[in-house]
Amino acid sequence: MTKAIPTNLITGFLGSGKTTAILHLLANKPRDETWGVLVNEFGEIGIDGAIMSGKGAVVREVPGGCMCCVAGLPMQIGLNMLIARSKPDRILIEPTGLGHPEQILQTLTGEHYCQVLDLKASICLVDPRNLKDQRYLDNENFQDQIALADVIVANKTDCCEDSDKERFDDFCGSMENKTFKTAWVAHGALEQQWLDLPKGHQVALHPDAHHSHSAMPQTAPLQLPDGKLFIRRENKGQGHFSCGWLYSSMLVFSFDALFHLFNSVPAKRLKAVVNTHLGPRAFNAQDGVVSIMELEECDNSRIEVIHNEPLAWDEIEELLCQAAGLVPDSE
């Protein structure tokens, strides 16, 4: 390689809007550039890669836990394949919202990549409304996502009140590290120039806070076994539980049935990319609000639910199968 690739880490806790922010960046990137996106998800199924497909970037997924597990091997495999196959002009890395960024940054600046990648600013997205929730403030991963950021962005501000802005300003003002930039945006509207800001030398507050997940993240895309119309996969770690389903592209779901189901599932996070009778749709549910995005295409349908305790997975699966016109068997 003749030139190191500018690389940015886009962090943020569950539901902060990382995927929307990356889609905004891709929509406004220079047309003559090829960008690569390495996406890491807590769940086993992997949704974000399908949402970003066809949005102006080459996407590589590392689903099933924090990609820095097992000495960073899943991350290195995904990153190496992304670089080799697409030769990107820029790389965006989106870790799971439950991940700790310290070990990822160490890998990106280590001997394998110090001559290959030009690490630029790390951007952390925050939903200001969560700053009044002590569970977020006490979470060590959340604290270090903030501590290691060069740009802290208050997102989803169209849903905020004046008190949320005051709380965000007070929160950032109380940080010992004063070298970061702050911003107040809606709908993930990150500024392109922030990507070229230099990476600082922030120090993690909890460098040993990383918690392993129940299994090593996958290094290959999940496939449906021959003869199966769907499979289900579960994961757990850091006080959260996920359950995901991968359905055959031959199945078409009732949009109305899915919308009703997704509105009723009491999950902290729900994402889906589904073939519906109205066409391919991406669903995003948080705090009882379901947002929908039209997609140009969708291969297999994917649904992922994350909560801080196990939900009635069997009942959810039965309703999903009914929405697809299936009678669930012993899957």
pLDDT by 10s per residue, the chain, length 331: 568 999 999 999 888 999 999 999 999 999 999 999 998 877 778 888 888 877 778 988 887 666 656 446 778 888 999 999 889 999 999 988 777 788 888 888 888 898 999 999 999 999 999 999 998 898 888 888 999 999 999 999 999 999 999 999 999 999 877 789 999 999 999 999 999 999 987 776 666 655 544 444 555 567 898 889 999 999 887 788 999 999 999 999 999 999 999 999 999 889 999 999 999 999 998 877 899 999 888 889 999 999 989 999 999 999 999 999 997 554 4
Q: In terms of Cα–Cα distance, which of 98, 55, 69 is closest to 240?
A: 98
**Whole domain around residue 301: which residue ranges?**
230-323
pTM: predicted TM-score of the whole model, two decimal places: 0.85
Could you give the C-alpha distances from 41 to 14, 19, 223, 242, 300, in angstroms and in order? 10, 11, 17, 10, 17
Query: What DSSP state is assigned to residue 253?
Result: B
Among 196, 217, 239, the domain-final residue is: 196
Output the DSSP codes for 178-201: ---EEEE-STT---GGGGGSBP--
Q: Would you call 315 exposed, middle or buried from its count of C-beta atoms within 10 A (0-12, 13-18, 19+)?
A: exposed
Helices 255-264 and 313-323, packing angle to 10 deg:
160
Same domain, 24 and 169: yes
Task: Output the domain CATH number for residue 164.
Answer: 3.40.50.300
Q: What's the token pair of residue 254?
A: 């009732």
Same domain, 306 and 168: no
**DSSP collapsed to 3 states, 281-301:** EEEEEECCEEEEEECCCCCCE
Cα atoms in the Cβ-side hemisphere of radius 13 Å centred on 72: 17
Q: What is the distance in angstroms between the CA of the first residue and the CA of the last residue of the chain?
A: 47
Which residues have C-beta within 8 Å of that of residue 124, sequence separation ≥ 6? Answer: 11, 12, 145, 146, 148, 149, 151, 152, 153
Q: Is 221 a domain residue?
A: no
Give the model's pLDDT for residue 189: 97
Q: Is 208 a domain residue?
A: no
Q: What's the token pair of residue 107?
A: 């890998």
Q: What's the token pair of residue 151?
A: 């740009």
Same domain, 175 and 243: no
Total domains in the chain come to 2
Q: Is 295 a domain residue?
A: yes
Q: What's the token pair of residue 328?
A: 């669930």
Q: In terms of Cα–Cα distance, which of 155, 135, 139 is closest to 147?
A: 139
Same domain, 46 and 109: yes
Q: Which residues pair with 165 in a beta bridge?
A: none
Backbone angles phi, psi at 123, to 5 degrees: -115, 125
Q: Is 25 a domain residue?
A: yes
Cα atoms in the Cβ-side hemisphere of radius 13 Å centred on 247: 23
